[in-house]
Structure 1
Amino acid sequence: MLQDGAVTYPVLKLSASGNTSTGFTVLKGEPASLVRVNGSKTLLISAYLEHRTKIKNVIVIAMMLRKEKVALQCHLYCHEQLYSSKAKIDIHWDHFGFPYGTADILCPLPSGCGTPTRVAITTGAIRNKDQTGVKFLEVRNQKVLTNFSYTFTTCFSTMYNFTNVLQLVQSLELLQYLGVNRVVVYKTNCSADTQRVLDYYTKKGLVEVIPWSLSNYLTVSRKALPKQDPADIHYFGQIPALNDCLYRYMYQSKYVALHDPDEYILPQSVNSWVELLPILEKRYGAGKCYIFENNWVPVEFALTPPPPHTLPQQKQWQNISGVNILTHIYNEPIAPKPAFNNYKIITNPRAVFAVSVHGVLKPWKTCTWTDRKIARMYHIKLRGKTELKPEQLIYDNRLLNYGARLSSAVNIVLRDTGLLSEDNLN
């Protein structure tokens, strides 16, 4: 979830128009489809041609009210003809107990229709083939590609009420150094300064912003469980957004990483994912999903590292909103197993059919844990109430190995976006 972790920020509610008077911007650019199925509570997101199953089909990523019993019909537009068939529904089991869950609506391809271009989902037949008022989705992933535009794509979902500008810039610069070519941001709303940063990286070609207007359709939760924040769906629809990102970049990117901008998968003996992945492939096998153990780095503790390590001073960043990750280098002790670990993954997207917040739903057997001596994840965020004492934290200076290069790159971005003046840099 892309919510601020530096300090406590006020929760801002959107007005009916989707804007506020507090500097937040909403839905700049083309929004995700988000099509309501008439006569049903089902909400459609996107459609993709699924090449990997024995029976070729179109998969429509959707959100469905789990208790609703509804029969859905597929309508595939192919070679100037309309083909209709019964849809198969698969609601993901990892819905965290919320009324709505992520769903795959599967539309088998009829004989003579190998490459449908559009698909509509309805609760009944289209009478006399009349398409008036029927909303069709473009079917993506028309071809199986083996030459990819990107080596590593990172999916961030979902960004809301976001003002953590400094950590976002640090994250995007660090990801590029690690070897990431593309970052996909599912955005509900953010501060004006955050939008300037997103626009900057979009123009550079690094970031794709996908406006995420789900809160216009459903009541979205800001918490992990219904008892913490009752709503229709978990975390602003984080899980369906991640599944959309997986399919969207399935044939565009060799690997896809699913984590937040306050999470950093850092190799321990090499400096980039470009160097790391051959190590993982050799040890665990190629074409897999790699799991990285989570290490909590609470921002409540900003301790001076012991000599001889010297932390670069970034006094010029003091007026930039957000967390300076280079000041937080003490980890919480790892919980003894079998306690749940909030791990994240890097995966070959073509080996995976469904994902959740933490890992893969199917097929799970494609995932393997990465030895923490090879690589691990650092989660730098506000932790809230804790019984830990400063002396219980574990010093880990791995992030500082990127410090000098990261500081220089961040200063350039802050200058180019107008968030930092030349006077501040001197």
Structure 2
Amino acid sequence: MHTHTAALRRAAQISQHHIFPRTLLITIIFFVLMYAFYFLTGLKNMTDYKPTAFYPHWKKKQPPSMACGVPVENDPIINVTNLKTYMVSSYIEHRQKVKMIRTIAIVLRSENAEYNCLLCCNGRTLPVSANYSIHSDHFGFEYGTADITCQIPEMCPTPTHVAITSRSPKEDGSLQDIHAFQPIRNQQKQEVFPYEFTVCISTMFDYVNILMLVQAMEMFKILGVQRVAIYKTSCHPVTQKVLNYYVRQNFVEIIPWRVSSYINVSRGWKKSVSPGELHYFGQIAALNDCVYRYMYQSHYVALQDLDEFILPLNLDNWKELLPELERKYNLEVGFEFENNFFPVSMKDPRPKYSPDSWKKVKGVNILEYVYRLSNDPTRFNDFKVIVNPRLVFTTTVHGFLQSMNGSVRVNHEIARMYHLRDIQRDDVVTHFHIRDTRLRDYADRLIPAVSKVLQKVLGIY
């Protein structure tokens, strides 16, 4: 009996010895097949998908590039050591008699700082004294946009990077420390440009108007735009998904705009209504940066917002409009397009212009607004501009502070700006309402283009 029991126990042990590896092998094969299935189906469904576009943290962290032994920071903003000064970007200024570096900056106006440019030249640093001027359009806020300029010395004809420092030396007499260099852009003056029209959008924060974003991008394309530069602080996750799509198309450039991490920014232009230390998220600094960033990349730049559409009334697009304006007014000026408000409280929904699929998307449908408020011809009416950026030295929200030949107001019967906005009720009541369906003339091209993007990016049918 004992012998029989021992034999059974040994048989069970042998059986378990053979079953366990077999079970393990089957489990391993199962997981390998599952992984292969998901990998292959993932490739099939994500042919244009770039993981780093949606999830930047997937990127393998690269060591920072270095210049003269110091890390290089390509994005705005760099705080100048021991000062309330923030470098935005630096450019070679080719249009002056003396070649110089122009750094666009945001400064505390009351600080009265003195600056040096610290140049990186062939692996060695060279300090050069700098001058600065604060732009007059600061709207009474403590901080304002400024230009910090320094001449390029003969012993350093091609500096590649710059840092701004305080001219005041440290207690031991040495120069102030720097923690980052900034690349100097526009090294070469160009005559041929990759883009005909670039739109500068400043600034995007807490942006949730997803439908209008897609409509704006597709309207820009219809009008002849090849590039849109967006200075972005924050937006809705779905907005970011749409932006990523246009970045992959090489249609949008996102410039990270982190001014609010350093300065208490206002959410409006009027300090008494929108408190803060800097006007409207540093909008003016962003606009000036865009002019210089695209100075030798784009024939024209348009300085506007996403809810604004500059439309020719008798022509189809900007490619037809701008040569006509240059013949009529002057080749070497900026062009002002008068603002016309379309209150979002006055809707004109029509099934033809309001696809059911669009109603699933957060945001305003620009084709539903056809009531324009009349402008008073005896009063000043705001405008936005399209300009050859090489004519501009400093810009502001409406027009230029310094340019070669100024700007002209385009006759509103030739072109005007359509501006969709939430208008105060008193303003709506006191103005005439004019039915203006010009935007709908683009509907046959706009509707299928927008629907295609919503399907492709958001899966909305």
TM-score (norm 1): 0.87
Distance, in Å, in 1 between the alignment partners of 2:97 and 2:433 is 51
Paired residues of 2:130 and 2:148 also in contact (CA < 8 A)? yes
Pair 1:337-2:378 in alignment: yes
Does 2:424 match 1:384? yes
Instruction: Please show how residues 15-26 of structure 1 align to structure 2 within 5 Å.
Output: none
Q: Deviations over 1:142-194 (max 9, x none)?
A: 00011101000001011001000001100100000100000001111111110
Question: Cα RMSD (Å) of the superposition?
Answer: 2.3
Aligned residue number for residue 322 of structure 1 = 363
Q: What's the CA shift string for 1:276-312, capped at 9, x where partnerless?
A: 011011011113211100001111001368xxxx853
Q: How many residues align?
A: 392
Name the aligned partner's letter for residue 316 of structure 1.
S
**Offset of 1:130 from its aligned partner?**
7.4
Which residue of the other structure, out of 165, 174, 199, is the alignment partner of 1:154?
Answer: 199
Q: For 2:92 and 2:365, locate their aligned partners in 1 and report how far apart those are by CA, in whole Å.
A: 42
Is 1:106 the equivalent of 2:149? yes
Match of 2:450 in 1: 410
1:92 maps to which of 135, 145, 151: 135
**In 2, distance between residues paired with 1:144 and 1:364?**
17
Matched, 1:135 2:180: yes
Point out the more displaced range, 78-87 or 392-401: 78-87
Which residue type is aligned with residue 338 of structure 1? Answer: R
Structure 2 residue aligned with 1:278: 323
Cα drift, residue 392 of structure 1: 2.7
CA contact 2:224–2:318 (8 Å) conserved in 1:
yes
Q: Does the alignment pair 1:54 with 2:97?
A: yes
Unaligned runs of 5+ in 2: 1-53, 60-72
Q: CA deviation at 1:274?
A: 0.3
Distance of 2:188 and 2:365 partners within structure 1: 43
Of residues 259, 271, 277 in structure 2, which corresponds to 1:214? 259
CA shift in 2, pair 1:27/1:370, >3 Å: farther
Are the equivalent residues in 2 in contact too, given 1:82–1:129 (CA < 8 A)? no
Q: Distance in 1 between matches of 2:257 and 2:427?
A: 37
Q: Equivalent residue for 1:362? A: 402
Q: Distance in 1 between matches of 2:428 and 2:184?
A: 51
Instruction: Give 1:394's match in structure 2, choosing from 434, 450, 459.
Output: 434
**Map of 2:287 onto structure 1:** 242
Residue 300 of structure 2: aligned partner: 255
Q: Aligned letter for 2:359?
A: Q
Q: For 1:390 and 1:133, how far apart are their aligned partners in 2?
A: 56
Q: Distance in 2 between matches of 1:352 and 1:246?
A: 8
Q: Are 2:208 and 1:163 equivalent residues in the alignment?
A: yes
Residue type at the aligned position of 2:139: F
2 CA distance for matches of 1:206 and 1:255? Answer: 15
Rate the CA distance shift 1:391–1:375 in 2: closer, same or farther, 3 A.
Answer: closer
Find the aligned partners of 1:420 and 1:234 in 2 and give their Cα distance. Answer: 38
**2:100 is equivalent to residue 64 of structure 1:** no
- In 2, are the aligned partners of 1:27 and 1:212 still within 8 Å (CA)? no
> How far apart, in 2, do the equivalents of 1:381 and 1:364 lie?
33
Q: Of 76, 84, 89, which aligns to 1:33?
A: 76
Partners in 2 of 1:361 and 1:143 — Cα distance?
A: 25
**What residue in structure 1 maps to residue 413 of structure 2?**
373
Which residue of 2 is the match for residue 347 of structure 1?
387
Pair 300,273 (structure 1): closer, same or farther in 2 beyond 3 Å: same
Kindly indicate whether the alpha-carbon contact (under 8 Å) linking 1:197 and 1:417 is maintained by their aligned counterparts in 2: yes
Q: Could you say what secondary structure the match of 2:246 adopts?
A: helix
SS of the residue aligned with 2:292? helix
Aligned residue identity for 2:325: L
Taking the aligned partners of 1:281 and 1:337, their CA distance within structure 2 comes to: 26
Distance 2:397 2:165 in 1: 29
Q: Deviations over 1:333-386 (max 9, x none)?
A: 1123333x2210000000000111111110274211111111110101111332
Letter in 2 for 1:328: Y
**Cα distance change, pair 241–356 in 1 and its aligned pair in 2 (3 A):** same
Q: What is the deviation of 1:104?
A: 0.3
Aligned residue among 85, 91, 105 for 1:42: 85
Larger Rg: 2
